[in-house]
Structure 1
Amino acid sequence: MKIGRIAAAGLFLALLTSLLPVGAQLASASETLVACPDGTEATDFQPGLTFVPQPTTVHVDGTLGSCVSTSNPAINNATFTINGSGTASCLTASFNSTMVVHWNSGANSVIRYNLTVNIKPAGETVFVSEGEVVSGQFAGAQVVRTTVEATLDALKCLTVQGVMTASGPTALVIVG
């Protein structure tokens, strides 16, 4: 289990590094307002994910750490929740979701995600979400969030109940 988590962390860092060109494209037209490379999250799926795509709701609770903000240096961490719905299976997922970030400075950001790419390198689920801050701190800015669901138990995809929960590292970048 420990080796799997280490591999997942390595995969996450490799994926994050591969996304830097995307971030650079965003940043070339804008400045990075906040970057939080060190986060974790726990995800609940209802109903559980199986190999059959079906309407699914998702709820996520998480934390963001090691944040650096050029526009508000007081920001260094946050907590967040995400609620959404869409079509999902153990092989692919697409959710429309809203994320509420509670920054340690006392400010909040409401983010709407309109695109999620679900990649499965080496059997791990990787979500890349793009969206926009629709209200609060950083309103109007663009967002990229990357998550590795390192604890997804693929064998549960074969059961009637399916995969009900997953967790793993996450990173967030906001540019504007």
Structure 2
Amino acid sequence: MELQANAALIIIDQQKGILQPHLGRRNNPQAEDRIVDLLGFWRRSGRPVIHVQHLSREPDSVFWPEQEGVEFQQRFLPQDAEWLIQKQVPDAFCVGGLAARLREAGVGQLVIVGVATNNSVESTARSAGNLGFDTWVAEDACFTFDKADYFGTLRTAEEVHGMSLGNLQGEYATVVSAAQVLAEG
């Protein structure tokens, strides 16, 4: 495992709306701190940073355009040289020619962080792996919420997070910690 000099950091949906209490109980309360650690390292090392912003199609969504929840949290505001990808579906590869743009920039390795582990993070990581990118997911820099399964059984955010990471590990991505990523840099 080695972090490439041009590995891209993909930060998913770190918008104000994700902090709304009505979304429920979440796991990894330190996830944003781990994202900030990684973002600082990426900026210092000059590696590419990609900010993904969700623009919902649902008026009752915390990410509905033209309201405060859609805006980036202050600590995750994109800087001038950083990429911005806007999406209306969970998978960041479904819009904006992200794969082509990464290939044009010579980027073959991705580190994915953000929210929600079982939604936008998992779908983006699956596509990245399927498209042939060396994909890492920093598990402690992602989080999700309690969620009922298909049969109506409430699963804790930790269970949802763990299952999602289990879906990714080995087939679509390599699951790592933020500290492991930083140690490779």
TM (norm. structure 2) is 0.31
Q: Which has the higher helix share?
A: 2
TM superposition score normalised by structure 1: 0.32
Q: Compare the two structures and name the one with the higher strand fraction.
A: 1
